[in-house]
Structure formats: C-alpha cells, structure tokens
Amino acid sequence: MPYLGSEDTVRDLNRALANPHVQSDQLRYRNVILKVIRLMSQGVDVSSLFSEMVKACATVDIVQKKLVYVFLCSYASLNPELSLLVINTLRKDCQDPNPMVRSLALRNMTNLRLPSLVEYVEQPLTAGLKDRAACVRRVAVLGWAKLHNLQPNSEIDAAVVNELYSLLRDTDPVVMVNCLRALEEILKEEGGVAINKPIAHHLLNRLKDCDVWGQSEVLKILQRYQPQSEDELFDILSMLDASLVSPHPPVMASTLGLFLSLCSTLPKVSLAALERVRGPLLAACGSASREIRFTALCHIQLLLRSVPGMMGAHYKRFFCGYAEPAFIKQRKMQVLVELVNDDNVAILLDELKEYCTDVNTDTAQAAISAVGRIGRSYSDRCLVILTGLLGLKQDNITSAVVQTMRDLVWVCPQCSETVCSSLEGCEEILQDSQGKQALLWLLGTYGDRVCSAPYTLEVFIDRVRCENSPAVKMELLTATLRLFLCRPAETQDMLGRLLHYAIDEETDMCVRDQALLYYRLLQCGVDETRKVLQGRRSDPSLGVLIGRPAEPVSHWAPIFNTLKPLWQSTSETDSVNSRSSQHTAFDPISDLSETLNSCHLQSVQTEGVTEHTPLPADAPSPSAIVPLSLLPTLTAGEFERLWLRGVEEEDGVCMTEHVRCCNVTQCSPQNFQAAMQLVNIQTLAFTPPHTLPWRVFLYTHTEAPSSSTLILGELLYTGKANEEAGDAQEDTIDGENANKTVVEGGIERRVRNEEKDSSGKRDSNELAKDNGQIEEVKEMRRHSKKKHAVLLLLLLAGGFYLVRYSHSFNTDPNRSEEPMNITWKAERMVSMESWVEQGDYLPLNVTYQLLAGIPVTQMRYLCIGLSSVKRKKDNYLIPTLVSLFSRSSPEERSSMVVVVLLADFDVNWLTTTVTKIKSEFSSALELGHLLVIHVPEENYPPTTGLKRNYNDSPARVSFRSKQNLDYAFLVHYSSGVGRYYLQLEDDVSSAKNFLTTVKKRVEEQEAKKTTWAMLEFSNLGYIGKLYKSAHLPLLARFLFLFYQEMPCDWLMSHFRVLLTQKEPILFKPSLFQHMGTFSSFQGNENKLKDKDFEEGVYSNPPAEVFSDMSTYGKHFPKLAWEAGEGFFWGRTPEKGNHLTVVFTDPRVVTGITVETGSEGKDILGSAQVEIGRSVITTANEEKSCKDFHKLGSMKNGWFVMQGVDKNYGSASSCLRIQVTAGQKDWVVISKIRIATKPSSPPQM
C-alpha cells in the first residue's frame, strides 16, 4: 500500500472517484469522498481531484453534498474556471423542496468567494430573504454580508438594505440578530445600523428570545441609542434589570456596558449597576472555563477603579487554587492587592506568603511583588515576610525579593534600615541580571548603612570579566562610585580597578562610555560628582498613600467588555488613567461662604484679631469658577522628580502670598485626604501622625480656557508652642496641557524659607515670630496666571477649614465632643476579682433597670445572656426560655442564671413582654434563676448616620450597631453573675441537660492546661459562645468601642484572637439550635439551622463496647457510643460479626437509634439489633450477655425504634448489632444512641 499522502494515494483516489462501479455504490462512493476530505484536513494537496469532486456534488445524499461542498469551498480560489461548473448545481439546490438543502446550497454559494460568481449569487440570495424556512433566511441574510465583503467598493443596493431592516421584525430571533450583523458589515462606512426608538424598543422586547450571543450582539448595538427623555431611559433600564444579573457572563457584561453607556450622566445609577453585577462577576470568577475566569478578573479590576471596596467582603474568592494556571493566579494577586485593608491584611499576607514559594517562577515572583505593593502601607508586616523569604536561599525568590525591596525603599524610605540589614549574603545566591542590578542599586544608594557593602562590591568587581550583562556592569559602575563618595578609603582601590577595566578592556560601548563619563566627572572634583550622583533623597519619615482616587465610571466605560482590559497590565492601566481627565468645577466663594468673604479682601480671624489681605488688582470676580481635577494622577516617583528639580524659566515670576488662619487641627491622614479631595486636591504623601514636623505633599490640576496648570504643594506643621507656625509651599508648572508640562515644560524654582520675594515681604520665620502666622503659601507662576494663585489660596484655606471640622463628617452633630463621664448605676453584683474598677476603661454612662427577678447575691456556675427586641413577625423569647428551663434538671437550674435584656424602647412591648415572663416563669423569678433588665435609650450612643462598610445598607448598619451595644451592656451586667457566661439569642432551643455537657467540656478543656478565651457549642453566629467571667469586662469594652465596625459575631472572633486563642474550639454535637423563622431585622425570613445539633432525647449511660470486626486505625468501637465527631470504622464485615455495648448498670431501654455509613458509603447493609441481659465473660475475656432478644433489622444503614420498653420492659444489660450477611465494603458505625430509664428497685 502506498504511503499515506503520497502522489500515488491521490492518484488512486482519482481513479476510484472516476470508477463507475464505485459511483453506482453510494456507500463506497461516500467513503472515497471521505478519504479525500481526510487527506485535505491533513494538509495534503488534493486540488487535482477538483473536477471529479464537482461531479460528485450532483447527488441527493445530503451527507455527501456537505463533504463535497467543504472540498469545493477550500479549492475554489485555485480553480475559478472549474468552479463555474458548480453554480448550476447550487442554483438548482436552492430550489429544492428540502429547506436543509436550500440553506446548504446558499451557504456554500457565498463561501466560494469568487468575484466572478457574484452575478449568479444575487438572485438566489434575494429569494432566500423571503424563504418560508427560517434556516434559509438566516443563511441568506449573512450571505449578503459576505457578498459585500467580497466587493467592498461596490454600490450598496438600497432595496437589499430596506429588506434587511424589515427582517429585523422577523419572527425568528436568529434572523433578527443576523440582520443586525449583516447591516453592521454593509453599512460600516456609514456608521453601522441606524437605531431609532421603534427599533430600539423592538430589540429590547425581543431580547429574551435570543440566545446568549444574540443577546450580547443586540446589547452591544443598542449602546448607540440615546433615549429621548429621562422617563424613557428608566423604562429601558427597568427592561434590562433582569439581564444585568444574568447567569451568562457575556449577557451580563453586555448589559452592564449598555447601562454605563446610557447612564453616563447619572453616576449614582452607574454605581448602583456595578453593585448589582457583583454576584454575577464573582460567579464568573469560579467558572469552569479558564478564559471566562481570566476575563472576569480583568473586568473586576476595572470596576475596582471606581468602587475600590466593592469586593472587599469577598476577598477570599480571589485566593488562588493549586491547579489554576499561572496567568489566573497572577491576575488574582493583583486584585488581592487592591482589596487589602486593616481587617484582612494579615490573612492576605499569609495567603500571598504561600504563593511566594510556588513551583512556577512567574507566580512566585508575582506574589513577592504583590507583597511589596502591600508593603507601601504595611511595611513592617511585609518586610518580615520578605526577609524570611531571603532565608530560603533560592535564586529566583532571592532575586524577586531584592527587586521588591529596591522598589519598596524607593517609595517608602523609612524601610531602608530593615532592608539594608537583610542584604548580607545575597550576592552569592543571585544569578539573574535583574536581581544583581537591584542589589547593586541598594548597595550604592544605602552603602553607608551596609557594613559589608565594599566587600560585596569587590566580589562583583573581581567577577566583572565573567559578567555577560552590560546593564549589570553599568549598575556596578554607578554603585561603586556612589559608595566611593561616602566611604572613599574602602572603595578607592576597587573603583580604580573597575574604571581601568571598563575603559581599557570592555568591548561594550555603553559600559565604556559610562566609565569615561565617571572618570572625567571625578577629574572635575568630588563635590561636582556628589551633585550629580547624590541628589536629594526622599524624607525617610514620609509614608505614601497608596491607591488612586476613585475614578469616574466614564473613564473606563468605553473599554468595558472589550479585549483591552485583558492585555492591559497594571502599569498600562495607570498610564490610561494619567491620560484621561475630568475636571470638576469648584466655587470657592459659594462653597466656603462661612469661611471667606465674597469681597476682594481675605478675612481670617486668629485669636480674636481680624486681619485683611488685599487681593491683587487683576484677581477674578468672586463669581469666578476654578475647574480643579484630581486627574491625571501623579505617581510618587513623578511627583518627587518634579519637586526636586529646580529649573528657572526666563519669563517666570515668583510671588508669595501669606495667609493667616485658625489653628490647623492635626488629624489622621485618611481624614485629611478625604477633606482635601472634597475640593479636588489629592494628598500624595504624609509623615506619620503625631510626629513633628508634620508634612504633607499634595497636588491638583487647574483647567483654564487656554492652558492647563499642574500645582505641587507641601504643607509643613512645625508644632504647638506659645505660637504655632506652619509653612505651605506651592510650585506651579504651566503649559498648554498637564502632560506636556510634565515632560517638556520648564519648572520654576521654589522660593526657600530664608529668601525674600521681590515685593519686600519678610521671610516666614520673621512672620511666625511677629504675628503668630501658621500658614505661608509660596506660589510661582507666569504673569498671566496670577488669578490662579489667588484662587488657589482660597481653595487651600477652604481645605484647612474642612480639615479642622472633618470630625463632623463621621459623627452626629448633636453629640458632644467632650468624653462622657464614667458612672456606674447598676443593680448587679460586681466581682472585684474579675472587674478592675479603678481602671475606668469602659466609657459607659449606663443605668440598668431591673424589670423582673431578684438580684443575685451569690455567684452561680453559669450565667446565660439573652438580648431581645420587638420583632415584626412572631416572637420566640418565651419558647426559648421554656426550652432552657424544661431541658434542665432541678440541679442544673440551681447552678445557672438566665439574664434577659429587653433592648427595645417600645414601652407597650416592654410591658407586655414582662407580664408574659412573670406569668410563665414566676417560680424561676422567685428562685433567682431568671433576671429581666432594661437599659434606657439615653444610655446609647448614636446608631444612625454611621459609616457604611461591607456594603451594608444604612438600616443594616444601624441594626447591627445597636445589637453590638445591646450585647455590650448585657455582657457588662453579667460579669459577676456566674463563673462562666454563655451567649445565646432569643430564638433558640437547647439540648437536654445542656449544662451537664457544658460542665464536662469545660473540665476537659481545663485539664489540657491550655489557654482558651471562647468555647463554642454551636456553629451559628453568636449562639452558644462560652466565656470566662474574668474576660467579660474586656469583652464589654471591646464591643462598645467597635460597635459600628462590624457584626457582633465577627467582633467576638476578633476578641478571641486578641486573647491569644487563634483557632476556634468547637464541640459537637451542637447543644443549641436556631428555631426562628423570621429575623429580628425587618422581619426577613431566616431558616438557618445547625446540622450538628442533637435534641438530647438520647442519653447514653456508661458502658463498655466490644467488637470482633477488624478496626481501622484509631476508629475504635467506643467512638460510636460516645458523643462527638468520632465513629467506628471496621474492615470488611463477615456474617456473625458483632458490635456489643455492655452497660455498667442495667437500664430499661426506651429508644434506640443506630446510624451507619458516611456520605452514602461504608453502609452496614445486613444486620439486626438486639438487647440482652445476664452479663457473661466470653472466651476472649470480653463481656457480653447470655440471652439476646431481637428488636428488628437495619434498613439502608439505619435503625430507629421508640417505645422499646413497651415490648421489652425488663432491664437490659447489653445492646448488640450483629451482621447477618457479609459484604465487601468496609463499615462505618457513626452513631449509637439510646434513651433509658433506671430499672425499678427490687421489691422487698
């Protein structure tokens, strides 16, 4: 047989196609054609068979037609003459009664793509547009687009375009979508398909009938339509609301793109739409498709530019999976950096630390870089991780760490000491050029702080002949010369050797030229060299505010749902930000009317003295508006480069304006930044709070009709003494636009403090001494821009005004600024051992009202705390109390106190509830087992107008904040009532004898001699959390201090960690179950249940457990009998095997439950349950019973029976599970539970 693909094979196929015997056998003929297609798909040239394949298309066999058409369309361009032979057959098939044949013929007629055949194709396509079969119309519509693409310069047939527009109302949605695509192609030069109101609303109404890609196409085209009224706009938005949360990512993305296009002038609606798509986007991040996951992550990064905290509560969704590809892991790490905050920084850094040692080098380096970016705000934590990674001594990790440290030190100079101390020994590990360059830069810049810097550089110099990278050699030259300037004695000899090699022996011209430059620079003198190589450094006390200001959605909306976010790196994204701009008009006169007069005098009051500074004559009128913008943004590096440069312009004029204002209250950098952003001034860097001098660097942009101005500024606060002084310096860069100014324009030199300006004004030190001036603004700009200087001063004064009163942004205006007095008015017992009264730590002014019960005079074992409020639907407080007392024995009730805080302020509800409690639990109240208290409303701090976080609504924030205060007061009251405190809700049911179980678990935990702060007896929220009484004062203070930060269960978890219990201690089975159906918050339905809860009907007595089945591992038989998570795991059971429980004392069994298997596996298929009496000892020295009575057989691995004592009333000593048929699977007996009652004493 000839080799597959050879000329002989093609020749044999040609003979077979021409053989009449083969042609007469339809099956053989089709197989030969199939072989031709197979060879074609493998890249074999079978074009010589074209004429025979043309003959083969004349058949009624649809399968054969499809195969032949595939061949003809592939080779038509090589055989244009022979292709004409196909047209007749195709035109004939276009009239076939079978619609599938008609559509197939039309599709392949347009796929031939031959200009010579256009005249033969137009008539069938025109007829196809009116065909009764939808599949034919679909092909005909797209055929016209292909025809236009084949002859793009031909005239557009208006009749065809009108017919396509009319087909937009076709009953078939695919025809409608294909019409849109065809019109887009045909009318491309005219702007695409025209969308008017009737077409737009028709497409919206038909949207639900289209498939996923059809909906995406329609939504994309609808972005061109602009509603004619606001009512129409919101009608359209309502129609699109369902698509906005579509489970299909393409539909969701297209809908959001349309939302952003329609709402470009409604930023609040755009932000609301972004909040709506959070769920679908998170779902897309978990898609099985890698491509969809990556696309969703890229678009989430876009959204975070406008809503930075949008995904904050869901940061764990962006943790990397082990099997995920590197490009997804790296993108997730970029998102995690955007989501870092004080609450999750520890968790995120721990997660990123794991990625730093990933087997994929790119992933590990990306993780290290992410840690470095977080280090700009949390430098101490990140430096610990980075220095720890250096200890691994791996080339790629060490290289990435050193590069990250270099970048971190550049932005945060305060980290330089830690970085310098960790560089020891890195030169022996580094192999790649990037890592070497980073190390050399650090040694050159901070060589005076690294003791071994000369010796490290000497190692590089000795190996310089073996170094292949010119970049490393150039960096080595710079580092050695910089080190020579600060440590000349140790570096002089090696610098000479390096320069000699670089000038005389080096072949790379760049290295040689740089060496010559340094050599000639040294000839000019050390001082000149130092000026060139050792410019001003950043102040090590500064800390950079990372994170860009929230962008308007309109900046990135045009690229949403396109490919651009997929290839855009982080730096490119920042570049796009810097090129886009939006200017917001700010009226200093109207917005700051309380601070500044609207005349041409600036009036500021200081210590009762009012001084007036006249404004320049050419100052604008008070009604002038200064457009300010935070964009384009400046990076810290760009700011520093511009700030440190000092190039004088020939036509520049310096002028100084002095402003006196009230004391500038020091505040947090976050408050200062927020205040300045209100007037569109961006804070870039700051010194840590409470350090002197306190400095802030800031910038803004102004936009005049003819030019754009970039303003750089520095605020200096020197501290408080008898008089306070400050200094604000302003540098201004003018040009036609901000970008050009930064790159090309000259920069005017700052006027220093000791200089005087041309108008004869005294320097700032004299003014501070004489007049107590606290602000000095120094302004440099061209003559034509003086009006900007005056208005900028007004803006800065307004900014200071906002800073001074910035505390009012987050507090109730009616709330006093003075700290509240600490008084204690409580009808409670305080244990001096557990409460340090002298500390005055809890800022409470609280009065407790005892509504029912008798104050406790003796500390009990357990205090149970409940807080209850009025609910809109149902009330579960009474059932909860019934459950607590009815499930406890008299001995248990005497050891506990239930404290109920009625935390609602509705007097009628309070009266009704107290009346019910008194009638239902009169004995518990009299015996001191139940207390009902209330805290009046005036004791509560504000619970409205609080800051929003976690995307909670204002109502939700008020509810959970009020709840935290309720629990703070409840815990505070309960601190001396019991040795232990158990936190419950007012809608729970308890297990039987729960207190006995709690005591047992506490004793077990205390026996371990380990520190614990909270024991958990339920999986749900803050139900079943046990604390020591000694910790309750701290918990009360903690809840009160952070009441508005987060929900109570989260606060309790943080409190546990603060008390050094890192991991939760959860006991199973749970002792408490949530029984409420409707939440206390707005009556929302809440059917949350604890799957590990057991009613406690069963109480296994003390017993021994024996089994003759082979035990696996440490899963002993007794674990199935004892409460907890343990289970018995036996290897393959055989007939006759058993598991026998022998009671310590005979018991009357009333109920039995046996559960086997785990997640549907290892079920005991055939077995019977028996009880017995008369304990004996077997030959294996195991205990059993002499007589057994069968109760029943197991079904599906379960056995449940109640009322056993009715049929077998005498006392039993044994319970046995006996296997009645062997099985290959192993067996898991997860639970054996019985209910018993003591046997009656013998009658005397």
* Among 998, 1014, 1020, residue whose Cα is nearest residue 1060: 1014
Are the beta carbons of 382 and 372 closer than 8 angstroms? yes
Report pLDDT for 400: 93
The model's pLDDT over 1160-1185, given as tens digits with 9 standing for 90+, comes to: 788 998 999 999 988 988 888 888 99
Residue 755 has pLDDT above 70, yes or no: no
Report pLDDT for 692: 61
Length of the chain: 1244
Report pLDDT for 1218: 92
29 confidence band (pLDDT: 50, 70, 90): confident
347 confidence band (pLDDT: 50, 70, 90): very high
Give the CA dihedral 547, 550, 554, 560, nearest 10 degrees: 50
Angle (CA) 1010 1016 1018, round 5°: 160
365 confidence band (pLDDT: 50, 70, 90): very high
**Neighbour count for residue 491 (Cβ, 10 Å):** 23
Residue 491 has pLDDT above 50, yes or no: yes
Report pLDDT for 399: 92
Residue 1000 has pLDDT above 70, yes or no: yes
Residue 751 has pLDDT above 60, yes or no: no
Are the beta carbons of 902 and 933 closer than 8 angstroms? yes
Report pLDDT for 476: 93
Residue 707 has pLDDT above 70, yes or no: no
Q: Read off the pLDDT of each residue in 767-775 and give the average, rounded to a whole number.
A: 36
Report pLDDT for 592: 31
The model's pLDDT over 72-125, given as tens digits with 9 standing for 90+, comes to: 888 888 887 777 777 878 888 888 888 888 888 888 888 888 777 777 888 888
Q: Read off the pLDDT of each residue in 525-552 and give the average, rounded to a whole number.
A: 68
Are the beta carbons of 900 and 930 closer than 8 angstroms? yes
650 confidence band (pLDDT: 50, 70, 90): very low
pTM recorded for the entire structure = 0.51
| Cα distance between residue 58 and residue 93, in whole Å | 9
Sequence-separated (6 or more) residues with CB below 8 Å from residue 419: 383, 405, 408, 409, 442, 446
838 confidence band (pLDDT: 50, 70, 90): very low
Q: Read off the pLDDT of each residue in 726-742 and give the average, rounded to a whole number.
A: 36
Report pLDDT for 865: 92
| Cα distance between residue 1229 and residue 1069, in whole Å | 16
Q: Which of 275-279, 475-479, 715-719 has the lowest mean pLDDT?
A: 715-719
Specify the residue for token string 């008020």.
958
The model's pLDDT over 559-599, given as tens digits with 9 standing for 90+, comes to: 888 888 887 654 443 433 333 333 333 333 333 333 333 33
Q: Read off the pLDDT of each residue in 20-48 and give the average, rounded to a whole number.
A: 87
Residue 841 has pLDDT above 70, yes or no: no
Please give the single-letter amino acid code of residue 544: V
Angle (CA) 261 338 954, round 5°: 70
Report pLDDT for 1139: 93
| Cα distance between residue 204 and residue 219, in whole Å | 8
Would you call 563 helix, strand, or coil by DSSP?
coil
Residue 545 has pLDDT above 80, yes or no: no
Report pLDDT for 812: 42
Q: What is the largest CA-CA distance in the chain?
A: 123
Report pLDDT for 590: 33
Q: Which of 201-215, 434-448, 496-510, 554-568 has the lowest mean pLDDT?
A: 554-568
Would you call 547 helix, strand, or coil by DSSP?
coil
Q: Which of 557-566, 596-605, 619-628, 996-1005 has the lowest mean pLDDT?
A: 596-605
Report pLDDT for 110: 84
Give the CA dihedral 283, 288, 292, 298, nearest 10 degrees: 60
Are the beta carbons of 56 and 91 closer than 8 angstroms? no
Q: In terms of DSSP bridges, do strands 1212-1219 and 1167-1177 run parallel, antiparallel, or are they unpaired?
A: antiparallel
693 versus 1019: the higher-pLDDT residue is 1019
215 versus 700: the higher-pLDDT residue is 215
Q: Read off the pLDDT of each residue in 899-912 and give the average, rounded to a whole number.
A: 89
| Cα distance between residue 561 and residue 302, in whole Å | 10
Angle between the N-to-C axes of helices 669-678 and 786-804, in degrees from 0 to 180, rounded to the nearest 10: 130
Sequence-separated (6 or more) residues with CB below 8 Å from residue 300: 281, 285, 311, 335
| Cα distance between residue 310 and residue 273, in whole Å | 12
Angle between the N-to-C axes of helices 361-374 and 326-339, in degrees from 0 to 180, rounded to the nearest 10: 10
Are the beta carbons of 219 and 251 closer than 8 angstroms? yes
* Among 1176, 1152, 1150, 1154, residue whose Cα is nearest residue 1164: 1154
C-alpha count within 13 angstroms, C-beta hemisphere, residue 412: 24
Report pLDDT for 1033: 83
Q: Read off the pLDDT of each residue in 153-162 and give the average, rounded to a whole number.
A: 82
Residue 530 has pLDDT above 50, yes or no: yes
Report pLDDT for 1094: 61
Q: Read off the pLDDT of each residue in 752-765 and give the average, rounded to a whole number.
A: 35
C-alpha count within 13 angstroms, C-beta hemisphere, residue 84: 5
Q: What mean pLDDT, rounded, does the chain reach?
A: 76
Percent of the chain topping pLDDT 90: 14
| Cα distance between residue 313 and residue 344, in whole Å | 9
Report pLDDT for 1085: 63
The model's pLDDT over 1120-1163, given as tens digits with 9 standing for 90+, comes to: 888 777 889 898 899 989 999 999 888 888 888 888 988 778 89
427 confidence band (pLDDT: 50, 70, 90): confident
Phi/psi at 78 (nearest 5 deg)?
-85, -15
In the structure encoding, which two tokens stand for residue 984, read together?
A: 């419950």
| Cα distance between residue 447 and residue 485, in whole Å | 10
The model's pLDDT over 930-983, given as tens digits with 9 standing for 90+, comes to: 999 998 888 888 888 777 777 778 888 888 888 888 988 898 888 878 889 999
Please measure the distance between the N-terminal and C-terminal CA atoms of the chain and give it in whole angstroms.
107
